[in-house]
Each structure stands twice: as structure tokens, then as C-alpha cells.
Chains A and B, each alone.
Chain A
């Protein structure tokens, strides 16, 4: 079957760095997405990786290793507004997105 695993919840301190991991097993791979979802709101796109390596976008970076079925989202200089759930999703062989359950990130002052 297809499976996306990510931690349920993480806590970090304002101004610090946090890494959210995602492992996947899917039928085919056409890229990995990270979305941010604030409580009660819709998911919004953060990043996309299709090749191995690190993609940097401001305070957020995303890494992919296809051979290991592994990705992480790195958030630097954490701000209180970064408190949200972070969703990992993989585009499978049919270009359908398979979603992880999300990681709830709690930022403490």
C-alpha cells in the first residue's frame, strides 16, 4: 500500500530551528510537496521537490532523498505565526497526491 509518515506533533521555541521529517512508500514518484495549514484554514503550498537535494526558499528549506524515501522541511528563525500543521504529500504514478496526516508544530515564546 501507499504510506506517508510524519510525526504527529512537535514543539519548538521562537527564534530557533526545527526539522519536520517525512518518509514515504508510494506506487511511483512524481514529486513531493509540503503544505502549511493553519487551524481552521485551507492548506497552502510551501515547497516542491522532485530531484534529490535541498530547495531553499527564505526561512523554509525542503530536502529530498528519493533512494531513502525521505524528506524534511526545515524552518529557521521560527516565528509565532509558524504555529500550524505541516502536511507532506507525494505525487504518485497517476499524479494523484497521497497525503500524510500532518505534523502540528507548536511554537513557544
Chain B
């Protein structure tokens, strides 16, 4: 039981490049989330999904797209990376949308030059 895993752990991009971050969970959780964490700020929700085939925007969705084709996977895409997207990205999952503990992946550190 690996919990929540994220790929890659670290990536350097040039401005304008694209990439996809992969999140996978083996807990059969319905809800999945993508957050970014920046120094001096709280975790900010980018996008989330309430189930396979559904996604919704969070607090800071601009510049990102997501897909949830399989229940266990949640992908975060950057079509044209910008230096402002330099951050640590965390994926999380929870059993339902009501008050449940969120389980986090180890994070992906992204540097955009």
C-alpha cells in the first residue's frame, strides 16, 4: 500500500515548455486535489476532482489543466510554463468530499527558468 505517489520528484523547465505531473493513489479514494505551496503562503488549491471523469477549478487554476481518466490517477498539466509557476506541487486524496483527512503525496519541486 503505497498511499499517494507523485512523479517526478523534481523538474527544471524553461519558460514556454510543457509538462505533466502524475499523481497516483491506491486507497480507492474518490476525491483528489492538486495544491501548490509557496514560501510564506498557505497551500493553494489549483484543481480538484470528485470522481473519475470529473474535474473542477480551485483557487488558482490559471495556467494549469487536469484530467482524471482513471479513478486512481490525477494528472496536472502545464501547457506553457512560466517562472511564476515555480513552486512545490502536492497532490492529495480523500475518501469523500465531506470532512475527511486528506492524504498527501511527497510533492514535486518545479523550477521554471
Contact = CB atoms under 8 A, between A and B. Distances in A.
Interface of A: 4, 8, 30-31, 33, 40-45, 48, 50, 87, 89, 91, 95-102
B42 A42 contact: no
A102 B90 contact: no
A80 to B, nearest CB: 22
A42 B101 contact: no
Interface of B: 40-45, 48, 58, 90, 97-99, 101-107
Nearest to B109: A40
14 contacts: A8-B40, A31-B99, A33-B101, A42-B104, A42-B106, A43-B43, A44-B104, A48-B101, A50-B99, A96-B45, A99-B43, A99-B44, A101-B40, A101-B42
B99 A91 contact: yes
Nearest to A94: B97
Closest 3 CB pairs of A and B: A99-B42, A42-B104, A99-B43
Contacts, number: 47
A95 B42 contact: no
B90 A42 contact: yes
Contact of B41 (A30, A89, A95, A101): A101
A41 B45 contact: no
B100 to A, nearest CB: 9
A87 B90 contact: no
Contacts of A89: 42-43
A43 B42 contact: no
B105 A42 contact: yes
Contacts of A101: 40-42
A87 B42 contact: yes
A43 B98 contact: no
